[in-house]
Amino acid sequence: MKTINLTVNGQPVCAEVEPRTHLADFLREQLRLTGTHIGCEHGICGACTVDINGEMSRSCITFAVQCDGADITTIEGFDDDPLMARLREAFTSEHALQCGYCTPGMIIAARDLIRRKGALEPQQIRYEMSGNLCRCTGYAGITAAIGQVMAERDALPLPPAHEACIGPAPGPGAKRTAQNTSNAAADDAGKPDDDSPSTSLSPGAAFETFSEDGLTTLTEHVIVPHDADRVWAFLGDLETVAACLPGARLIQQDGDLIAGEMRVKLGPMTPRFAGEGMIRRDDENRSARIVGHAKDTGSASRARGRIVYALQDTGEGTRIDIEIGYALTGALAQFSRGAIAKDLVGRLTRAFAENLQGAISGNGPAAGGSADGGSDALDAGGLLGAVIWGQIKSIFAAIFGRRN
Nearer CB in complex with ligand FES: 3/92: 92
**Dihedral (CA of 236, 238, 239, 245) sign:** positive
Nearer CB in complex with ligand FES: 103/181: 103
Nearer CB in complex with ligand FES: 23/378: 23
Nearer CB in complex with ligand FES: 109/114: 109
Please tell me the distance from the alpha carbon of residue 128 to that of residue 125, in angstroms, as a whole number: 5
- Which span sits near ligand FES by CB under 6 A: 13-21, 62-70, 91-99, 146-154? 91-99
Please tell me the distance from the alpha carbon of residue 262 to that of residue 370, in angstroms, as a whole number: 13
Identify the CA nearest to 249 among candidates 260, 264, 258.
Answer: 260
Q: Is 338 in the site for ligand FES (CB under 6 A)?
A: no
Q: Is 38 in the site for ligand FES (CB under 6 A)?
A: yes
Nearer CB in complex with ligand FES: 61/244: 61
Please tell me the distance from the alpha carbon of residue 254 to that of residue 174, in angstroms, as a whole number: 40
Closest approach of Cβ 302 to ligand FES, in Å?
23
Task: Please state the φ and ψ torsions of residue 301, each to the nearest 5 degrees.
Answer: -110, 150
Within 13 Å, how many C-alpha atoms sit on residue 158's CB side?
A: 17
Footprint of ligand FES on residues 105-134 (CB under 6 A)? 134
Nearer CB in complex with ligand FES: 36/219: 36
According to DSSP, residue 196 is labeled -
**Dihedral (CA of 265, 266, 268, 270) sign:** negative
Q: Is 291 in the site for ligand FES (CB under 6 A)?
A: no
Selected binder of ligand FES within 10, 100, 385, 390 (CB under 6 A): 100
Selected binder of ligand FES within 4, 45, 311, 345 (CB under 6 A): 45
Footprint of ligand FES on residues 60-79 (CB under 6 A)? 60
Please tell me the distance from the alpha carbon of residue 48 to that of residue 46, in angstroms, as a whole number: 5
Site residues (CB under 6 A) for ligand FES? 38-41, 43-48, 58, 60, 97-103, 134-137
